[in-house]
Chains A and B, each alone.
Chain A
Amino acid sequence: MLAYTMRRLLQMIPLLFAASLVIYALLALQPGDPLDELRQNNPNLTSEQLSQLIHAYGLDQPIYIRYFKWLGRALQGDFGQSRTYAQPAAKYVFTERLPKTLALSGIALLLALIVAIPIGVLSAVRQYSLTDYSITFFSFVGFSTPVFFLGILLLFLFAIVLPETLHIPALPTGGVPNVLWADVKDGSVDFFSYIGQWAYYLVLPVMTLALIQMATWTRFMRASLLEVLTQDFIRTARSKGLAERRILYKHALRNSLIPIVTLVGLAIPNVLGGAIITETVFSYPGMGTGIFDSLTQKDYNVAMVSLAFLAVLTAFSTLFADLMYAIVDPRIRYD
Chain B
Amino acid sequence: MQRRADRLALRNLMLFSVALVCFTLAVYHPWALAGPQDNSLVVGTSQEPRVIGGDFLSVISNQAIKAEIELYLFPNVININLDSKNYAVLATEAPTLENKRVRFTDLGQGKRRLEVDITLRNDLKWSDGKPLTTDDVQFYYDVGKAKGMPLLNPDYWSRVTLKVKDKANYTVIYEPAFYTDLQGGTRPSVALGYAPAHIMKDAWEKTKTAVATLDPTKDAEKLNELYRNFFQQFSTPEAVNKGAMVYAGPFAVRRWVPGNSIELTRNKYFSLTPSGGAEKYVQKVVYRFIQNTNSLLVSILGGQIDVTSSVALTFDQARSPQLTSRAPGRFDIWFVPSATWEHIDVNKFSAVQKVKELQLDNPKTRQALLFAMNREGLTKAFFDGLQPVSHIWIAPVNPLFNPDVKKYPYNIEQAKKLLAELGWKPGPDGILQRTVEGKTVKFEIEFVTTAGNAVRERAQQFLADNLKQVGVLVKINNAPSSVVFADDYIQRAVESKWTGMFMFAWVSSLSELGNLFACKDLNTGATFMPTKENNYQGQNVGGWCNNKYDEIRAQAVTEFDDKKRKALFDQMQQTWSEDLPALPLYFRSNPFVVAKGLVNYVTAAYAGGNGYPSWESWNIGWEQKGAKKIYDQAKYALSLKK
A and B physically associate:
yes
Q: A: which residues have CB within 8 A of B?
A: 30-32, 36, 38-47, 49-50, 52-53, 55-58, 81, 84-87, 96, 100, 115, 118-119, 122, 125-126, 129, 131, 152, 155-156, 159-160, 163, 168-180, 182, 193, 196-197, 199-200, 203, 244-245, 280-285, 289
Choose among A30, A44, A160, A168 the residue with the greatest number of B CB atoms under 10 Å from its CB: A44
Instruction: Provide a sorted-by-A list of 21 A–B residue pairs whose CB atoms are within 8 angstroms.
Output: A31-B482, A32-B482, A38-B62, A43-B515, A44-B153, A44-B513, A52-B220, A56-B224, A86-B61, A118-B13, A131-B3, A152-B294, A160-B298, A170-B29, A175-B259, A175-B290, A176-B260, A193-B28, A282-B292, A285-B259, A289-B291
Q: Does B296 contact A (CB under 8 A)?
A: yes
Indicate if the CB atoms of A53 and B150 lie closer than 8 Å: yes
* Smallest beta-carbon distance A233→chain B, Å: 21
Q: Counting CB contacts under 8 A, is B332 at the interface?
A: no
Q: Is B163 an interface residue (CB 8 A)?
A: no
Pick the residue among B28, B156, B486, B537 that contacts A47 (CB under 8 A).
Answer: B537
Greatest chain B CB density within 10 A among A86, A100, A180 is at: A86
B221's nearest neighbour on chain A, judged by CB, is A58
**Are the C-beta atoms of B30 and A174 separated by less than 8 Å?**
no
CB nearest to A156 among chain B residues:
B298
B residues within 8 A CB of A168?
Answer: 25
Residues from chain A with Cβ under 8 Å of B485 in the complex: 32, 36, 40
B223 cross-chain contacts in A, Cβ below 8 A: 56
What are the interface flags for B419-458 relative to A under an 8 Å C-beta threshold, 1 for contact and 0 otherwise? 0000000000000000000000000000000000000000
Give A199 Cβ to nearest chain B Cβ, in Å. Answer: 5
* Residue from the set A58, A96, A178 with the largest chain B CB neighbour count within 10 Å: A178
Q: Give A32 Cβ to nearest chain B Cβ, in Å.
A: 4
How many chain B residues touch A (CB < 8 A): the figure is: 78
**Contact with A87, one of B13, B232, B301 (Cβ below 8 angstroms):** B232
Contact among A36, A55, A96, A193 with B486 in the assembled complex (CB-CB below 8 Å): A36
B2: A residues at CB distance < 8 A: 244-245
Contact of B25 among A41, A115, A200 (CB under 8 A): A200
**Complex Cα–Cα for A50 and B31 (A):** 51
Question: What CA separation (Å) do A182 and B483 show in the bound complex?
Answer: 43
B260 neighbours in A (Cβ, 8 Å)? 175-178
Query: Does A30 lie within 8 Å of B482, measured CB to CB?
Result: yes
**Most A CB within 10 A of own CB, among B26, B235, B539:** B539
Per-position binary interface string of chain B over residues 240-272, scored 1 when its CB falls under 8 Å from any chain A CB and 0 otherwise: 010000000000000101111100000000000
Within 8 A of A (CB), among B1-30: 2-3, 6-7, 9-10, 13, 21, 24-30
Cβ of A291 to closest chain B Cβ, rounded Å: 14
In the complex, A131 Cα to B10 Cα: how many Å? Answer: 10
A186 to chain B, nearest CB (A): 11
Contact B259 A100 (CB under 8 A): yes
Contact yes or no, A43 B235, CB < 8 A: no
B282-316 toward A: CB 8 Å interface, digit per residue (1/0)?
Answer: 00000011111011101101101000000000000
Interface centre among A85, A173, A285, A289 (most CB of B within 10 A): A173
* Residues in A whose Cβ lies below 8 Å from that of B155: 42, 44-46, 49
* Further pairs besides A126-B6, A283-B289: 6, Cβ < 8 Å: A44-B515, A50-B537, A86-B228, A87-B236, A283-B292, A285-B258
Q: Which residues of B come within 8 Å of A, CB atoms?
A: 2-3, 6-7, 9-10, 13, 21, 24-31, 50-51, 55, 60-62, 148, 150, 152-156, 216-217, 220-221, 223-225, 228, 231-232, 235-236, 241, 255, 257-261, 288-292, 294-296, 298-299, 301-302, 304, 480, 482-483, 485-487, 489, 507, 509, 513, 515-516, 526, 534-535, 537, 539
Q: How far is the CB of B551 from chain A (nearest CB, A)?
A: 20
Whether A169 pairs with B29 at a CB distance below 8 angstroms is yes
Partner of B28, one of A39, A52, A126, A197: A197
Most buried by A among B2, B221, B261, B302: B302
Cβ 8 A contact of B534, one of A47, A175, A199: A47
Q: Per a CB cutoff under 8 Å, which of A125, A126, A203, A283 touches B295?
A: A283
Known contacts A56-B220, A96-B258, A178-B260; is-contact A163 B302 (Cβ 8 Å): yes
Partner of B298 from the list A58, A159, A177 (CB cut-off 8 Å) is A159
Contact at A174–B295, with CB atoms within 8 Å? yes
Give the residue name and chain of the B residue nearest to A30 (CB): B482
* Other-chain residue from A131, A169, A174 in contact with B290 (beta carbon distance below 8 A): A174
Which residues in A have their C-beta under 8 angstroms from that of B301? 160
Min CB–CB distance A23 → chain B (angstroms): 18
Q: Are A173 and B24 in contact (CB under 8 A)?
A: no
Decide: A122 near B299, CB < 8 A? Known: A56-B150, A57-B224, A289-B291. Answer: no
Report A-chain residues with C-beta under 8 Å of the C-beta of B539.
43
Contact A86 B515 (CB under 8 A): no
Q: Tell me, rounded to whole Å, the shortest Cβ–Cβ distance linking B310 to chain A.
A: 15
CB < 8 Å: which of A32, A118, A171, A175 contacts B289?
A: A175
Residues of the B chain whose Cβ atoms lie less than 8 Å from the Cβ of A96: 258
Select which of A31, A115, A180 is within 8 A of B241 by beta carbon: A180
**Chain A residues, Cβ within 8 Å of B29:** 169-170, 200
- The chain B residue with its CB closest to the CB of A51 is B535
Bound-state CA distance A200–B10 (Å) is 24
In the complex, are the beta carbons of B13 and A115 less than 8 A apart? yes
Residue from B241, B299, B485, B535 having most chain A Cβ neighbours under 10 A:
B299
Residues of A within 8 A of B296 (CB): 173, 283
For B258, the chain A residues whose CB sits under 8 A away are 96, 176, 285
Question: Which one of A57, A84, A175 contacts B221 once the chains associate, using CB atoms below 8 Å?
Answer: A57
Q: From residue A230, how far is it (CB to closest CB) to chain B in Å?
A: 19
User: Chain B nearest CB: distance from A265 CB in Å?
Assistant: 26
B28–A200 contact, CB under 8 A?
yes
Select from chain B the residue with minimum beta-carbon distance to A44: B155
B534, A131: Cβ atoms closer than 8 Å: no
Check A42–B153 contact: CB distance below 8 A.
Answer: yes
Assuming the contacts A171-B25, A180-B257, asked whether A125 and B6 have C-beta atoms less than 8 A apart, the reply is yes
Contacts of A119 in B (CB 8 A): 10
Chain A residues whose CB sits within 8 angstroms of the CB of B148 once the complex forms: 56
Known contacts A36-B486, A173-B304; is-contact A84 B13 (Cβ 8 Å) = no
Chain B min CB distance to A92 (Å): 10
**Interface pair A39/B152, CB less than 8 Å apart:** no
Among A32, A39, A43, A203, the one with the most B-chain Cβ atoms within 10 Å of its Cβ is: A43
Question: In the complex, A41→B539 CA distance in Å?
Answer: 10
| 7 tightest Cβ-Cβ pairs between the two chains A and B | A169-B29, A56-B220, A200-B28, A283-B291, A285-B259, A32-B482, A176-B259
Please determine whether B7 and A131 come into contact, CB atoms closer than 8 angstroms. yes
| In contact, A173 and B290 (Cβ under 8 angstroms) | yes
Q: For A41, list chain B residues within 8 Å (CB).
A: 62, 507
Beta-carbon nearest neighbor of B263 in chain A:
A178
Partner of A38, one of B3, B50, B152, B486: B152
Do B10 and A281 have beta carbons less than 8 Å apart? no
Complexed CA–CA distance, A23 and B489 (Å): 24
Q: Assess the A55–B220 pair: CB atoms within 8 A.
A: yes
How far is A32 from B482 in the complex, measured between Cα atoms in Å? Answer: 6
Please give, as numbers and ranges, the residues of chain B lying within 8 Å of A84 by CB-CB distance: 50, 60-61
Q: What's the minimum C-beta distance from A219 to chain B, rounded to whole angstroms?
A: 17
Chain A residues positioned under 8 Å from B526 (CB to CB): 46
Query: In the assembly, what is the distance between CA of A122 and CA of B5, in Å?
Result: 11
B291/A36 in contact, CB under 8 A? no
Task: Say yes or no: A126 contacts B3, CB within 8 Å.
Answer: yes
Q: Known contacts A31-B482, A46-B537, A119-B10; decide if A170 and B50 are in contact (CB<8 Å).
A: no
Residues on B with beta carbons closer than 8 Å to the beta carbon of A163: 302
**How long is the Cα–Cα vector from A200 to B537 in the complex, in angstroms?**
52
Residues of B within 8 A of A175 (CB): 259-260, 288-291
**Chain A residues with CB below 8 A from B231, complex form:** 86
In the bound complex, CA of A196 to CA of B6 (Å): 31
Considering only CB atoms, which chain B residue lies closest to A162 in the complex? Answer: B25
Complex Cα distance, B514 from A43, in Å, reads 10
Chain B residues, CB < 8 A from A281: 292, 294-295
| A160:B302 contact, CB within 8 angstroms | yes
